[in-house]
Amino acid sequence: MSAAGSPRPVPERIVIASRESALALWQARHIQAQLAGLYPRIRIEILGVTTEGDRRLDASLAKIGGKGLFVKELEEALASGRADIAVHSVKDVPMVLAPGLTLAAIGAREDPRDAFVSNRHPDLAALPAGARVGTSSLRRECQLRARHPRLRVEPLRGNVPTRLKKLDEGRFDAVLLAAAGLKRLGLDDRITRLLTPSESLPAPGQGALGIECLEGRADLVELLAPLNHDATARCVGAERAFSRALSGSCNVPLGAYAEPEGSRVRLRGFVGAPDGSRLVSGELEGPGDGAEALGTALADQLKAQGAADILAQLQTSS
């Protein structure tokens, strides 16, 4: 309802900004279908956008600006009016949004785990010493180096099909990917083994989709409300608060995963050195309606246990 109590005007068209990778377009079409089901009289269109993160595949994300490079151009499309909403993998969204933007809805989470993919080996423990494991994530690299120091961790960039092709060409003995992306693309059969959070703690927001729009678009915020999944939103809020309190970015090996337990939330988190030489982890449980405070509290706990020293060293070396 508007301030005067009359029905809020409904837009004739909603344009969704999306990256042009197969996975990003699947995600945009998924939201498009949900909106079309809710609002059949509104035209729902997709605007494909190539981001800097998609163009610059010759360097690690940590060196060229982090995962925010996957959302910058989409947010510019919102600011210019070329698009009304943008659909993101929440794990790619910076922990502090640009002024004037909001995550209006977070959808129900797909599988948040990391997936081990190999054509010859059943799991990480079966890989021989010196085996090459590909990943684009400092978070995964840190945990791999800490738990499997005999393996060689090598950089792997590109979209999901490109990464799988590099594995199939023999450039790697195994690769680690987000299970959600493989499942959404119908590539479940490529998953050799799903890694438990104890083996590889996920990234904040992994497996969840976020819908972003301008804060001033109250009409869109209202229309997007039915797409918000409360339990997922609470858990992701805790994870992002944890990361935000630790200045989480692609330069900080950091993981966070929250699970709903009735009306409460259980949050696990870690911070580590990129080479895996040091890793500080912990967990807390608290009320679901205080999930963000729980994330901040766990971050403070880890800082006191040594995470502050790790973060200071990372800042000095960057």
What string of H, E and C letters represents the secondary structure of 23-42? HHHHHHHHHHHHHHHHCCCC
Amino acid 315: pLDDT: 80
pLDDT (average), residues 237-242? 97
Domain count, the chain: 3
Indicate the pLDDT class of residue 52, thresholds 50, 70 and 90.
low
Hey, what are 260's tokens? 């709903």
Secondary structure class of 5 (helix, strand, coil)? coil
- For residue 208, pLDDT over 80 is answered with yes
**Do 92 and 224 fall into the same domain?**
yes
**Do 152 and 78 fall into the same domain?**
no
DSSP letter for 263, please: T
**Do 84 and 221 fall into the same domain?**
yes
**Do 216 and 69 fall into the same domain?**
yes
pLDDT (average), residues 243-262? 88
Residue 200 lies inside a defined structural domain of this protein: no
Rg (CA), the chain: 20
**Do 105 and 123 fall into the same domain?**
no
- Global pTM reads 0.91
Amino acid 252: pLDDT: 86
**Do 159 and 99 fall into the same domain?**
no
- For residue 59, pLDDT over 80 is answered with no
Distance CA 253, CA 247 (A): 11
Distance CA 284, CA 194 (A): 24
Alpha-helical regions (H) of 39-192? 52-55, 61-64, 72-80, 138-147, 160-168, 179-184
Amino acid 247: pLDDT: 81
Q: Considering the chain, what percentage of its residues have pLDDT values greater than 70? A: 91
Which residues are designated catalytic?
92
- For residue 64, pLDDT over 50 is answered with no
Q: Over the chain, what is the mean pLDDT?
A: 91
Selection from 27, 22, 8 nearest residue 212 by Cα: 27
Indicate the pLDDT class of residue 8, thresholds 50, 70 and 90.
confident
CATH number at residue 137: 3.40.190.10
pLDDT digits (tens, 9 = 90+) for 86-117: 999 999 999 999 999 999 999 999 999 999 99
Q: Give the residue numbers spanning the domain of 268.
A: 239-317
Residue 247 lies inside a defined structural domain of this protein: yes
pLDDT (average), residues 9-22? 93
**Do 179 and 32 fall into the same domain?**
no
> In three state form, how does the secondary structure of 195-258 look?
CCCCCCCCCCCCCCEEEEEECCCHHHHHHHHHHCCHHHHHHHHHHHHHHHHCCCCCCCCEEEEE
Phi-psi region of 187 (alpha: psi -120 to 50; beta: other; left: phi over 0): alpha
Selection from 272, 93, 91, 275 nearest residue 178 by Cα: 91
**Do 43 and 89 fall into the same domain?**
yes
